[in-house]
A and B are shown apart, each in its own frame.
Chain A
Amino acid sequence: MNRREVEQPDHVLPTAGREDEELLRAVEKPGGGFKVTFTLLALVILGAWVVFSRQILFGLGVTGLNQPVAWGFYIVNFVFFIGISHAGTLISAILRLSKAEWRRPITRMAEIITVVVLAIGGFHPVLDLGRPDRVLNIYTAGRLQSPLLWDVTSISAYFMASTVYLYVPMIPDIAILRDRGARPQWLYSFLAWGWEGTPRQQAVLERAISILMVLVIPIAVSVHTVISYIFAMTLQPGWHSTIFGPYFVVGAIFSGIAALLVVMITLRKIFHLERYLKEVHFSHLAKLLLIMSLLWFYFTFSEYLTGYFGSEPTEMRVFFYKFSGPYAPYFWGMLMLNFMIPVLILSFRRTRRIPGILIASIGVVIGMWLERLNIVVPSLANPRLPYPTGFYVPSLVEWAMFVGGIATFVLGFALFARFFPLISIWEIREGRHLAVPETVARIESYLPDAAPARAGTEPEGG
């Protein structure tokens, strides 16, 4: 490919210098790997839909759901995927807001996770409907007093805000691709929105980003709070709990960071980003993961201890169903994967390295999925009245859609990496050229002011 060096307007940071060219390689010279990955994933997703067609034809009977356990995998995955989505935008917004300089190579990936996973998770309740053909009833006859409508509202707000929040900081990078003549040219011209990197444009962008990051945090918190309300607003034992909102939010951020770490380690390997994603980034995120693990355990402990100590019979049935009953493997597995293993691995500097972090993160992702399972199913399986409880065994259709959902997640990343840089080039450059003096100045501003110059007025020492 002949790539003309574009005549650049000589403003600040318009195009990638040679130093960050490797970030564009995946976009400009996609290898055969992309096509293979794309085809494989597309086949998996197609397969999942083929299996799912049975549900469309015959109804929800093809799932393993039954009379007391009316919700299963679809709802579990809905909560799980939406939880993962907190990785992104929330982490990225908090890191941006707190001016954590190590955020620069991380934020973009985090934001992609949010958008991709939110689209997948948000679709899951539709899979769960007995009459997906009537989904528009929510628009024509919806009732805002139903927690499900709170979800529809807050997830769509989150989806919009996080898409905008992904897109706006991407504009300068898209302009780089446009200026370098990447194809499809119309796409980059369209999306670059006439970015030239003039000071005024930069001011606009910066202000927009700072509005967005403030806007996105409460929306993100609201999303998982409201999802927990779906459960907490019913009277069911094990669900009707006041701490469910913050408990879900903590769990969501927890699983989100873990997913982010898994994604970062994987992409680092695939796209050879070792120069950008260094041990120190993983170490910082891992500490965050450790804190969230402890916080998650604290919430779990409070939740279960209050249930146990109160010993309300219906509550106890659910409790023992998880503690020593059929769900014991999942319950204890959850505690192992979410608390014991990550704390053991991440507490020590020796093991807090990439392989250890990868193990802990994968564990947490699985553990948080188990947590969602432990919340949704046991409460339904142990209703207040001694109904003949059926054991919930997910069917092939549900597993297929689970695999399909994960494949869609990977596909989303593959597509994104094919067309856009995975690491924000302009933010890295900004870090290189502007952030160091800025940070020095900021740190200096934290230091105590110099002693008053007027000597004599104030005696020094005693």
Chain B
Amino acid sequence: MEREAGKQPDHRVIMVLQVASVAGIWAFVLSIAVWILHLLHLSHRLHDVPSASVAISIVAIPVFLTGAAVLTYVFVGLRRGRSAAGPDRVEGKGR
């Protein structure tokens, strides 16, 4: 049951997966933004109350972007904050 040697997963693979997941979040968020803009364009083209669409997109798009930005901030922050990389290496406001 225990495979001591193979127990530690390949860090390269894990790293790639992590970057991919963050990229996935961005893809998700950007596609939502594109979607909302598409609907905005559609409502404009069909003379269908673009003002409502404008109001919603002004609120919604930044919210999604903020969410993804926070996640990216955590990801990058944790990467940079690892002890191997040396603590407080970067423009540290930290503590």
Contact = CB atoms under 8 A, between A and B. Distances in A.
Interface of A: 1-2, 9, 11, 139, 141-145, 149-150, 153-154, 156-157, 160-161, 164, 168, 171, 181, 185-186, 189-190, 193-196, 198-201, 203-205, 207-208, 211-212, 215, 219
Contact of A201 (B7, B8, B56, B82): B82
Nearest to B17: A190
- Which 5 pairs from chain A and chain B are nearest by CB? A204-B77, A200-B81, A201-B81, A144-B53, A145-B52
A150 B2 contact: no
B73 A208 contact: yes
Contacts of B40: 144
B23 interface: no
A193 B75 contact: yes
Contact of A199 (B57, B64, B87): B87
B66 A142 contact: no
A181 B66 CA distance: 34
Interface string B7-19: 1110100100110
Given A144-B52, A156-B32, A203-B94, A149 B39 contact: yes
Contacts of A160: 28-29, 64, 67
A157 B53 contact: no
**A interface: dominant SS:** helix
B43 A189 contact: no
With most chain B CB atoms within 10 A of its CB, the pick from A1, A144, A181 is: A144
Given A198-B87, A199-B94, A199-B95, A153 B56 contact: yes
Size band of the interface chain B makes with A: 35 or more
Interface in B53-88: 53, 56-57, 60, 63-64, 66-67, 70-71, 73-75, 77-83, 87-88
B9 A142 contact: no
Given A143-B42, A144-B40, A145-B52, 13 more contacts: A144-B52, A153-B36, A161-B63, A185-B8, A186-B14, A189-B9, A190-B9, A196-B83, A203-B81, A204-B94, A205-B74, A205-B78, A219-B63
Given A9-B83, A145-B48, A185 B7 contact: yes
Given A181-B7, A200-B87, A208-B73, A194 B79 contact: yes
Nearest to A188: B9
B49 interface: yes
A189 B81 CA distance: 16
Nearest to A181: B7
A332 to B, nearest CB: 39
A189 B42 CA distance: 44
Contacts of B56: 144, 149-150, 153
A203 B95 CA distance: 6
A35 to B, nearest CB: 17
A189 B14 CA distance: 7
B82 A198 contact: yes
B92 to A, nearest CB: 7
Given A144-B36, A203-B95, A195 B78 contact: yes
Contact of A200 (B9, B60, B94): B94
B18 A212 contact: no
Contacts of A215: 63, 66-67, 70
B20 to A, nearest CB: 10
A164 B73 CA distance: 12
Contact of B39 (A143, A201, A205): A143
A414 to B, nearest CB: 23
